[in-house]
Amino acid sequence: QVQLVESGGGLVQAGGSLRLSCGASGRSLSRYYMGWFRQAPGKEREFVAAIRWSDSNTGYADSVKGRFTISRDNAKNMVYLQMNSLKPEDTAVYYCAVDRTSYSGSYYPTRGYEYDDWGQGTQVTVSS
């Protein structure tokens, strides 16, 4: 099992930026995918972005492409989500998660059930 702790959420005006962080501990992440999901009130959890630990292969939801960037720091066992040009519709609780299945090629997991371990979430609120 991997323990995950998110931080960096907060209140920001539309057009602003935030960087979310996720610290991982418990086991090696060497071939796993780390993902970010979000859930807004009254809505289902949705995929935001994913990154493969070994080679930084990344994938994004269409709604955040060009605005959000996922990255990782191997030495610190950290995953980040840089969020720029934020919109009110980005308001949600953001969760990081790890998928402990090894994938080859360019496939990246986008469905919640593919992920094994989850953090507690961090609130992001974007005001208009």
The model's pLDDT over 14-55, given as tens digits with 9 standing for 90+, comes to 999 999 999 998 877 778 999 999 999 999 999 999 999 888
Locate 64 and state its tokens.
Answer: 């955040």
- What is the per-residue pLDDT across 96-119, written as a single tens digit (0 to 9) for each? 999 998 888 889 999 999 999 999
> In this predicted structure, what is the pLDDT of residue 37?
98
DSSP state of 85: S
Query: Mean pLDDT, to the nearest integer, of 77-95?
Result: 97
DSSP state of 66: T
> In this predicted structure, what is the pLDDT of residue 87?
97
Q: What are the b/e assignments for 64-81, b being 16+ CB within 10 Å?
A: beeebbbebeeeebbbbb
> In this predicted structure, what is the pLDDT of residue 97?
97
